[in-house]
């Protein structure tokens, strides 16, 4: 039996006709004419006849040639999801074309080209895919895209956006967007996020950003600088928050009015450049009380290691010896903080001073995840220790804010 | 009306809230709140999406005619699940257990693997845009011969506060939906079946009580008519009225169809902008409208204004359709001049619309977009009048009439709730369920064991205070006292506007124990309950009616009164009992049992005469 076939089964002595959907946990899942699904023992299901092929509902996409050319690069995730009959789970399966047909208003904002370099759940993202994505975006901008929208699963969106930020100097907006609540639900945040991201992608902006709900209401989207943003909630629409700084802009909904901060990089301020070498042998570890120093042995082959330390940037003294060894063997170690908010300072306590003497680099106020991505990129650009240290401590893409301003 | 001749068929859907500790798909309590207690508000848009079989549901599409912005009130008893900002928890096992119990009572067969579905509802009453619902059991019997098709366990929708504002406290309370086969053929029969199923539900003692906790939807059709679902019938007594009025509506609409056909009536496609005709109108509605559109219904004169239900006309039906576009309603020439529209304006309108005496002109007002949409909708409904009766979901109006809500939904409005895993129902689970005693049996037992009169016993068994009554009996209180207090006294107080609903059972029972012991006079109960309802403690309430009179004090008082009136008593003999009783009671009313007073007084009078 296959999905869509007409079948029958008997419940309470009455025969029912139903549509076969799938098999699950040794039960046949049937859809009744009332619309309900039920699971019944497979042995009780009788096949009546094969189902008719149904064509999906796909209204034609009409584009206005006078509107700016925007590229949608689709990587998967909940901005474009559908139901998987096999597992009953929501998975990313839709192509970029389907996004436009699902959100027709997009066609009033721009003229879209779509590309799908891969379609994955964002937890399966890897640095090699960041590189592929960066090249794909570069090609689109070279081909004339006035803005790029990258649809992405929210789990690792901030890592990807940050990676693109370091790899590309961009003259046009590169906007990452996703949805926190599945696109199949009428309340999904996908439509508002997508429309707002299209609006920003055609705005006077020249950097990589994430555009997602600013609040739990459908009132505005916040535009976050890629290197300062973090997913701070598992499920809320406003999960993405700029840490230690304000978002660089907002777009109200449904009128799509854009306002950008003065420090946002403008369209055309940078020349399109791609530096896509990344050192994948890097890791991010979080220190915790009682951490076994032997754990660090597993990272001996890493060229770079970011530690999310406690407080101002500390680890237990027992780790010091191994850290010294790692640095001596050529591993770059960058200290960040689990506090997420605030700046690392390893000059206040002895532990910190010991870490500095061991050669650990203070990661300033960089987010641990951003520091990891940056370290991969920096190690991809240079082998020279002094240069690595200089680049890691210099603000390249807004990842380091030199002053900790009160009120944020 | 001869329902048999008309070919009436009716079925019902009963929606009953369950009294569980937690909601169906989250861990919030199932309590209702006052909107003043809200601690947050969220605002969202909803839009229809394509379902698993492709295509947008026609009922959902109807709701989409306007892009709607909804507001939701949140409380400290609601969570991110109600906000649609967190995935649901697994299905509440307590709710499932109650549902299976009801299924077993109705001789239904459970589904071996229960799947939670998402039923599209984009009227704003669900933050998600769908209602989670699961088919739990099928094919049972109620009351001997009515087939029960299914029982579903679903989440209650949010309560509407105003047009676009909803309160989240109710969203997610477990609700069972029982659907009967269309096996009823008279209005009374519909009520009887509804009553019987209601009794079954309450017999579980696990359902919520009170206004709004049970709702009936009635499906009605007559021969040559159409299936119409009327939602939200809350009172059982209104069911026969709702059914008979719907039959009346369908009969009238069929007659209208015949008349329209005989007149060769026609519905136009186009509309005409007539805003300029009303530039200096006195009609408040039309004056403020940026756009007024009109259309001429050929051969409809007199019919748009014809009554099809008490107070409802064909025009009301067309108006219901037009309102979906955000306009307030429509005017038609069968009712004009009126509402500030003058005869001259009507004449100008008819002239512009090339309408002759046999035609009816309809007008709507709003923004250009609203008015165009509304005219289209009204014409769509007018066209249906030529066809007969549209299949519709309708909402009940206060007196038993109904108004159009949306087309009957198709099966496309459901798709799987992927965030909730299916639940297996095993034979062991079903066998382990103990069937509760039916309330009809409870009543019979009260008559047999407690000697309570049949009607009163039934009354107690069906009342909200049944558990209190049972606790009172267990505490040794005389059945008559418990029944009278919990049924009659509380009902009388409620008629006087005193709500004893918040007085806890324990307090009522302690009070009755005191009465039973003779420490509190039963005459004082109404006043004490009044005080309790006002928030007094038990002691405060008892004291508020004055200190109790001991038998000894009473004897002294009676002796005093009898001595004073000795002459009168000797004159009248035992006939003096009544008047003297009145004098004594004036002093002690509510502070000691009247029967005790009568006994002592009688003895005292006997001594004198």
Report angle CA A315, A321, A323 to the nearest 5 degrees: 60
Side-chain-side CA neighbours of A207 within 13 Å: the count stands at 25
ipTM for the complex shown: 0.92
The pLDDT assigned to B51 comes to 43
Side-chain-side CA neighbours of B434 within 13 Å: the count stands at 3
Q: Calculate how close chain A gets to B333, using CA atoms only, in Å.
A: 39
Structural domains of chain A sorted by starting position, each given as residue range(s) with its CATH number in brackets: 6-49 (2.30.30.520), 69-274 (3.40.50.1170), 282-393 (3.40.50.40)
Q: Which positions in chain B touch A29 (Cβ < 8 Å)? A: 113, 115
- What distance in Å separates the CA atoms of residue B85 and residue B479, rounded to the nearest whole number? 52
Quick one: tokens of A45? 């299901």
The pLDDT assigned to B251 comes to 95
Question: Is residue A182's pLDDT more than 50?
Answer: yes
| DSSP secondary structure string for all residues of A38-49 | EEEEGGG-EEEE
Q: Calculate how close chain A gets to B539, using CA atoms only, in Å.
A: 50
| Judgement on whether residues B101 and B180 belong to the same structural domain of the protein | yes
Which SS3 state, helix, strand or coil, does residue B72 take? strand
The pLDDT assigned to A96 comes to 58
Interface probe for B, chosen from A13, A18, A38 (most Cβ of B below 10 Å), is A38
| Judgement on whether residues B507 and B573 belong to the same structural domain of the protein | no
B407 within a domain of the structure (yes/no): no
CB contact under 8 A, A235 and B87: yes
| Judgement on whether residues B533 and B568 belong to the same structural domain of the protein | no
Task: Provide the pLDDT confidence category of residue A59 given band limits of 50, 70 and 90.
Answer: low
Asked whether A124 and A276 are in contact (CB, 8 A), the reply is no
- What distance in Å separates the CA atoms of residue B156 and residue B131, rounded to the nearest whole number? 8
Question: Is residue A84's pLDDT more than 50?
Answer: no
Question: Of B349, B381, B330, whose CA–CA distance to B276 is shortest?
Answer: B349
Q: Calculate how close chain B gets to A341, using CA atoms only, in Å.
A: 25
Question: Of B539, B542, B513, whose CA–CA distance to B525 is shortest?
Answer: B542
| Judgement on whether residues B317 and B181 belong to the same structural domain of the protein | no
- Domain boundary at B204, B227, B250, which? B227
In chain B, the percentage of residues whose pLDDT exceeds 90 is 63
Q: Which positions in chain B touch A234 (Cβ < 8 Å)? A: 86
Question: Is residue A89's pLDDT more than 50?
Answer: no
Long-range contacts of B282-290 (CB under 8 A, 24+ apart): B282/B340, B282/B341, B282/B342, B283/B339, B283/B340, B283/B341, B284/B340, B285/B328, B285/B331, B285/B339, B285/B340, B285/B365, B286/B340, B286/B341, B286/B363, B286/B365, B289/B365, B289/B366, B289/B371, B290/B366, B290/B367, B290/B368
B64 within a domain of the structure (yes/no): yes
CB contact under 8 A, A186 and B414: no
Interface probe for B, chosen from A23, A24, A25, A35 (most Cβ of B below 10 Å), is A35
- Domain boundary at B500, B525, B544, which? B544
B204 within a domain of the structure (yes/no): yes
B75 within a domain of the structure (yes/no): yes
Tens digit of each residue's pLDDT (9 = 90 or more) over B360-419: 999 999 999 999 999 999 999 999 999 999 999 999 998 899 999 988 876 557 788 989
Strands A27-32 and A69-74: unpaired
Task: Provide the pLDDT confidence category of residue A248 given band limits of 50, 70 and 90.
Answer: very high
Strands B423-424 and B307-309: unpaired
Calculate helix-pair angle for B439-450, B454-462, nearest 10 degrees: 130
Give catalytic status of residue A231 as yes or no. Answer: yes
Strands A90-92 and A37-41: unpaired
**N- to C-terminal Cα distance for chain A?**
60
Select from A32, A41, A83 the Cβ nearest to the Cβ of B112.
Answer: A41
CB contact under 8 A, B49 and A41: no
Quick one: tokens of A28? 């046949």
Q: Cα-flanking dihedrals φ and ψ of residue B557, to 5°?
A: -60, -45
B223 within a domain of the structure (yes/no): yes
**Which residues in chain B (389-418) have CB-CB distances under 8 A to chain A?**
410-416, 418
The pLDDT assigned to A58 comes to 57
Whether the upstream peptide bond of residue A254 has omega within 30° of 0, thus cis, is: yes
Q: How many CB atoms lie within 10 A of CB B123?
A: 19
The pLDDT assigned to B259 comes to 96
B520 within a domain of the structure (yes/no): yes
| Judgement on whether residues B69 and B181 belong to the same structural domain of the protein | yes
Q: Which of A5, A22, A75, A78 is catalytic?
A: A78
Ramachandran assignment for B173, one of left (phi > 0), alpha (psi -120 to 50 degrees), beta (any other): beta
CB contact under 8 A, B139 and A191: no
- What distance in Å separates the CA atoms of residue B126 and residue A337, rounded to the nearest whole number? 41
Radius of gyration of chain B (CA): 31
- What distance in Å separates the CA atoms of residue A60 and residue B406, rounded to the nearest whole number? 28
What is the CATH classification number for the domain harbouring B276? 3.30.1360.30
* Residues forming a β-bridge with A334: A306, A361
Nearest CA in chain B to A44: B112
| Judgement on whether residues B45 and B174 belong to the same structural domain of the protein | yes
Side-chain-side CA neighbours of A22 within 13 Å: the count stands at 12
- What distance in Å separates the CA atoms of residue B480 and residue B492, rounded to the nearest whole number? 17
Quick one: tokens of B59? 């009922």
Question: Is residue A3's pLDDT more than 90?
Answer: no
Q: Calculate how close chain B gets to A80, using CA atoms only, in Å.
A: 12
Burial of B36 (0-12, 13-18, 19+ CB in 10 A): exposed
Question: Is residue B480's pLDDT more than 60?
Answer: yes
B296 within a domain of the structure (yes/no): yes
Question: Is residue A82's pLDDT more than 80?
Answer: no
Which SS3 state, helix, strand or coil, does residue B580 take? helix
Strands A208-213 and A174-177: parallel
Burial of B211 (0-12, 13-18, 19+ CB in 10 A): exposed
- What distance in Å separates the CA atoms of residue B579 and residue B569, rounded to the nearest whole number? 10
Give catalytic status of residue A78 as yes or no. Answer: yes
| Judgement on whether residues B94 and B194 belong to the same structural domain of the protein | yes
Mean pLDDT of A241-261: 96
The pLDDT assigned to B410 comes to 62
Asked whether A164 and A174 are in contact (CB, 8 A), the reply is yes
3-state secondary structure B335-401: CCCCCCCCHHHHHHHHHHCCCCCCCEEEEEEECHHHHHHHHHHHHHHHHHHHHCCCCEEEEECCCCC
Give the lowest-confidence range in A360-364, B298-302, B604-608.
Answer: B604-608
| Judgement on whether residues B493 and B510 belong to the same structural domain of the protein | yes
Give catalytic status of residue A351 as yes or no. Answer: no
Long-range contacts of A383-386 (CB under 8 A, 24+ apart): A385/A332
Mean pLDDT of A107-129: 90
- What distance in Å separates the CA atoms of residue A230 and residue A156, rounded to the nearest whole number? 9
Select from A25, A29, A35 the Cβ nearest to the Cβ of B413.
Answer: A35
**In what helix (H) or strand (E) does residue B286 lie, and over which residues does it extend?**
helix B284-287
* Residue range(s) defining the domain that contains residue B382: 261-390
| Judgement on whether residues B155 and B23 belong to the same structural domain of the protein | yes
Radius of gyration of chain A (CA): 25
Give catalytic status of residue A170 as yes or no. Answer: no
Question: Is residue A387's pLDDT more than 80?
Answer: yes
CA distances from A354 to A342, B48, B316, B515 (A): 21, 60, 84, 82
- Please state, rounded to an integer, the average pLDDT across all residues of chain A: 91
Q: Does B139 touch chain A (CB under 8 A)?
A: yes
Select from A16, A187, A191 the Cβ nearest to the Cβ of B84.
Answer: A187
Going across the sheet that includes B272-273, the strands are: B272-273, B291-297, B360-366, B331-332
Q: Cα-flanking dihedrals φ and ψ of residue B535, to 5°?
A: 105, 5
* Residues forming a β-bridge with A15: A10
CA distances from B453 to A237, B329, B487 (A): 61, 54, 13
Question: Is residue A269's pLDDT more than 80?
Answer: yes
The pLDDT assigned to A91 comes to 47
- What distance in Å separates the CA atoms of residue B383 and residue B261, rounded to the nearest whole number? 11
Asked whether A224 and A248 are in contact (CB, 8 A), the reply is yes
Q: What is the longest distance spanned by two Cα atoms in chain B?
A: 101
Mean pLDDT of A76-105: 58
pTM of the model: 0.85
- Please state, rounded to an integer, the average pLDDT across all residues of chain B: 90
| Judgement on whether residues B535 and B571 belong to the same structural domain of the protein | no
The pLDDT assigned to A323 comes to 97
Give the lowest-confidence range in B72-86, B288-302, B318-332, B486-500.
Answer: B486-500
| Judgement on whether residues B35 and B121 belong to the same structural domain of the protein | yes
- Domain boundary at B211, B227, B243, which? B227
Task: Provide the pLDDT confidence category of residue B548 given band limits of 50, 70 and 90.
Answer: low
Higher per-residue confidence, A3 vs B314? B314
CB contact under 8 A, B128 and A185: yes
Question: Of B299, B275, B277, whose CA–CA distance to B289 is shortest?
Answer: B275
In chain A, the percentage of residues whose pLDDT exceeds 70 is 92
Mean pLDDT of B126-150: 93
| Judgement on whether residues B535 and B574 belong to the same structural domain of the protein | no
Tens digit of each residue's pLDDT (9 = 90 or more) over B452-465: 888 889 989 988 88
Q: Cα-flanking dihedrals φ and ψ of residue B509, to 5°?
A: -70, -40
CB contact under 8 A, B111 and A32: no
B100 within a domain of the structure (yes/no): yes
Mean pLDDT of A218-240: 97
- The tally of domains found in chain B comes to 4
Q: What is the longest distance spanned by two Cα atoms in chain A?
A: 81
Mean pLDDT of A73-100: 58
């Amino acid at each position: 039996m296959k999905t869509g076939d007409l079948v029958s089964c008997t419940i309470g002595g009455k025969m029912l006709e139903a549509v076969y959907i799938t098999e699950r946990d040794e039960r046949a899942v049937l859809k009744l004419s009332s619309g309900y699904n039920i699971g019944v023992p497979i042995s009780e299901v009788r096949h009546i006849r094969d189902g008719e092929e149904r064509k999906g509902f796909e209204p034609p996409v009409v584009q206005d040639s006078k509107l700016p050319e925007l590229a949608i690069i689709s990587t998967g995730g909940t901005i474009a999801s559908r139901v998987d009959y096999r597992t009953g789970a929501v998975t990313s399966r839709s192509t970029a074309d389907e996004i436009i047909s699902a959100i027709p208003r997009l066609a009033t904002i721009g003229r879209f080209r779509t590309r799908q370099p891969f379609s994955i759940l964002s937890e399966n993202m890897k640095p090699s895919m960041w590189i592929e994505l960066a090249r794909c975006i570069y090609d689109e901008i070279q081909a004339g895209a006035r803005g790029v929208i990258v649809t992405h699963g929210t789990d690792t969106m901030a890592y990807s956006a940050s990676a693109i930020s370091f790899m590309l100097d961009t003259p046009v907006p590169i906007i990452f967007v996703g949805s926190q609540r599945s696109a199949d639900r009428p309340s999904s945040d996908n439509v508002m996020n997508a429309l707002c991201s299209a609006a920003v992608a055609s705005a006077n902006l020249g950097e990589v950003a994430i555009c997602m709900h600013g609040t739990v209401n459908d009132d505005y989207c916040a535009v976050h600088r890629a290197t300062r943003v973090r997913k701070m909630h598992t499920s809320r629409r406003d999960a993405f928050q700029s840490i230690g700084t304000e978002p660089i802009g907002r777009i109200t909904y449904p009128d799509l009015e854009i306002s950008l901060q003065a420090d946002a990089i403008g369209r055309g301020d940078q020349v399109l450049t791609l530096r896509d070498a990344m050192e994948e042998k890097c890791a991010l570890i979080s220190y915790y009380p009682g951490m076994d120093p032997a754990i660090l042995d597993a990272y001996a082959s890493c060229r770079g290691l970011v530690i999310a330390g406690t407080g101002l940037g500390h680890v237990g003294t027992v780790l010091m010896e191994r850290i010294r060894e790692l640095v001596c063997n050529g591993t770059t170690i960058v200290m960040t903080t689990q506090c997420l908010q605030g700046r690392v300072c390893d000059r206040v306590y002895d532990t910190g001073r010991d870490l500095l003497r061991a050669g650990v680099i203070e990661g300033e106020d960089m987010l641990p995840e951003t520091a990891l991505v940056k370290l991969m990129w920096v190690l991809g650009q240079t082998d020279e220790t002094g240069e690595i240290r200089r680049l890691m401590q210099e603000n390249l893409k807004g990842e380091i804010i030199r002053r900790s301003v009160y009120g944020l | 009306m001869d329902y048999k001749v008309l070919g009436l068929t009716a079925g019902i859907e009963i929606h009953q809230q369950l009294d569980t500790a937690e909601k169906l798909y989250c861990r919030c309590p199932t309590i209702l709140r006052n909107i003043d207690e809200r601690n947050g508000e969220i605002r969202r848009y909803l839009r229809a999406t394509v379902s698993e079989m492709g295509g947008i549901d026609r009922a959902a599409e109807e709701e989409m005619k306007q892009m709607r912005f909804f507001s939701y009130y949140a409380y400290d008893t609601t969570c991110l699940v109600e906000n649609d900002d967190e995935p649901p928890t697994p299905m509440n096992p307590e709710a499932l257990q109650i549902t299976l119990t009801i299924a077993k009572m109705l001789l239904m067969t459970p589904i071996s693997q229960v799947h939670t579905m998402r039923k599209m509802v984009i009227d704003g009453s669900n933050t998600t845009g769908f209602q989670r619902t699961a088919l739990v059991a099928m094919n049972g019997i109620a009351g001997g011969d009515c087939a029960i098709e299914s029982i579903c366990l679903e989440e209650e929708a949010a309560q509407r506060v105003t047009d676009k504002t909803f309160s989240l406290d109710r969203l997610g309370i477990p609700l069972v939906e029982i659907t009967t086969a269309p096996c009823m053929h008279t209005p009374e029969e519909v009520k009887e079946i509804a009553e019987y199923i209601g009794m079954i539900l309450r017999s579980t003692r696990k359902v919520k009580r009170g206004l709004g906790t049970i709702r009936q939807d009635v499906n009605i059709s007559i021969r040559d008519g159409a299936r119409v679902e009327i939602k939200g019938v809350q009172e059982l007594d209104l069911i026969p009225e709702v059914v008979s009025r719907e039959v009346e509506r369908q009969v009238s609409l069929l007659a209208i169809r015949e008349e329209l056909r005989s007149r060769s009536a026609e519905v136009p496609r186009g509309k005409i902008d007539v805003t300029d005709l009303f530039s200096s109108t006195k009609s408040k509605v039309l004056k403020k409208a940026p756009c007024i559109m009109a259309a001429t219904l050929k051969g409809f004169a007199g019919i748009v204004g014809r009554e099809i239900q008490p107070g409802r006309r064909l025009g009301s039906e067309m108006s219901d359709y037009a309102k979906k576009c955000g306009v307030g309603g429509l005017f038609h020439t069968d009712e004009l001049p009126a509402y500030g529209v003058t005869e001259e304006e009507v004449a100008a309108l008819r002239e512009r619309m090339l309408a002759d005496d046999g035609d009816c002109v309809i007008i709507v007002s709003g923004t250009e977009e609203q008015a165009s949409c509304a005219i289209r909708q009204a014409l769509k409904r007018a066209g249906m009048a030529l066809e007969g009766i549209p299949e519709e979901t309708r909402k009940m109006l206060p007196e038993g009439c109904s108004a159009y809500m949306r087309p009957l939904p198709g099966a496309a409005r459901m798709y799987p709730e992927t965030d909730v895993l299916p639940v297996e129902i095993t034979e062991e689970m079903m066998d382990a369920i103990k069937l509760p005693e039916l309330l009809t049996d409870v009543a019979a037992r009260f008559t047999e064991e407690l000697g309570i009169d049949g009607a009163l016993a039934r009354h107690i068994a069906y009342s909200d205070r049944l558990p209190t009554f049972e606790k009172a009996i267990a505490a040794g209180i005389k059945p008559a006292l418990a029944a009278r207090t919990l049924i009659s006294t509380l009902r009388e107080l409620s008629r006087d506007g005193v709500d004893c609903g918040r007085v806890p059972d324990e307090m009522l029972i302690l009070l009755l124990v005191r009465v039973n012991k003779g420490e509190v006079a039963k005459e004082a109960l109404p006043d004490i309950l009044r005080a309790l309802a006002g928030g007094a403690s038990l002691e405060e309430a008892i004291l508020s009616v004055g200190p109790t009179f001991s038998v000894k004090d009473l004897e002294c008082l009676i002796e005093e009164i009898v001595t004073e009136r000795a002459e009168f008593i000797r004159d009248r003999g035992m006939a003096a009992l009544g008047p003297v009783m009145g004098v004594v009671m004036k002093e002690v009313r509510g502070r000691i049992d009247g029967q005790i007073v009568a006994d002592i007084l009688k003895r005292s009078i006997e001594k004198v005469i």
